[in-house]
Amino acid sequence: MDYALLTLKCVLCDREYGPHEVRYTCPDCGEVGALDVIYPLDSTRHTDSPLSIWQQRDLIPIADNPLPGLKAIGGTPLIMPDALAHLAQKVGVRELMIKNDALNLTGSFKDRASAMVVAHALQNLDTHVIATASTGNAAAALAGCCAAVPEAQAVIFMPASAPEAKIAQVIVFGAKVILVDGNYDRAFDLCTEACNEFGWYNRSTGINPFTTEGKKTVSFEIAAQLHWDVPDVVIVSVGDGSIIGAAYKGFKEMFDRGWIARIPRLIGVQSSEGDALVYVWENNLTATMMTPRPSTTLADSISSELPRDRAKALRGVRDSQGALVRVPDEEILKAIPAFASQTGVFAEPSSAIVFAALKPLLETGMIQASDRVLLLVTGSGMKDIRNAMRSVAALKPSPTAPTLGSIRNQIRARDDKRYE
Contacting positions for Zn ion (CB under 5 A): 10, 12-13, 15, 26, 28-29, 33
Nearest alpha-carbon partner for 173 in 213, 216, 114 = 114
- Cβ distance 287 to 230 under 8 Å? no
Return the beta strands (E) in 206-345 as ranges: 233-237, 265-271, 323-327
Distance CA 111, CA 250 (A): 16
* Least distance (Å) between residue 369 CB and Zn ion: 42
Q: Which is nearer to Zn ion, 14 or 126 (CB)?
A: 14
* Least distance (Å) between residue 310 CB and Zn ion: 14
Q: Which is nearer to Zn ion, 15 or 94 (CB)?
A: 15
* Least distance (Å) between residue 319 CB and Zn ion: 18
* Least distance (Å) between residue 208 CB and Zn ion: 16
Q: Which is nearer to Zn ion, 110 or 312 (CB)?
A: 312
Angle between helices 329-343 and 349-356 (to 10 degrees): 90
Distance CA 321, CA 251 (A): 13
Q: Which is nearer to Zn ion, 27 or 294 (CB)?
A: 27
Strand order from edge to edge, sheet including 176-180? 176-180, 153-159, 129-133, 201-202
Q: Which is nearer to Zn ion, 35 or 146 (CB)?
A: 35
Distance CA 106, CA 113 (A): 12
Q: In sequence order, what are the beta bridge partners of 265?
A: 233
Distance CA 359, CA 165 (A): 30
Distance CA 75, CA 84 (A): 20
Q: Which is nearer to Zn ion, 15 or 318 (CB)?
A: 15
* Least distance (Å) between residue 8 CB and Zn ion: 10
Q: Which is nearer to Zn ion, 28 or 193 (CB)?
A: 28
Q: In sequence order, what are the beta bridge partners of 271?
A: 274, 327
Q: Which is nearer to Zn ion, 44 or 286 (CB)?
A: 286
Q: Which is nearer to Zn ion, 33 or 322 (CB)?
A: 33
Q: Which is nearer to Zn ion, 17 or 228 (CB)?
A: 17
- Sign of the CA dihedral 343, 250, 67, 25? negative
Ramachandran region, residue 276 (left: φ > 0; alpha: ψ -120 to 50; beta: rest): alpha
* Least distance (Å) between residue 13 CB and Zn ion: 3
- Cβ distance 154 to 130 under 8 Å? yes
Hey, is 24 helix, strand or coil?
coil
* Least distance (Å) between residue 25 CB and Zn ion: 8
Distance CA 131, CA 153 (A): 8
Q: How far is CA 179 from CA 90, 113, 191, in A?
A: 44, 22, 11
- Cβ distance 229 to 368 under 8 Å? no
- Cβ distance 66 to 119 under 8 Å? yes
* Least distance (Å) between residue 263 CB and Zn ion: 24
* Least distance (Å) between residue 33 CB and Zn ion: 4
* Least distance (Å) between residue 32 CB and Zn ion: 9
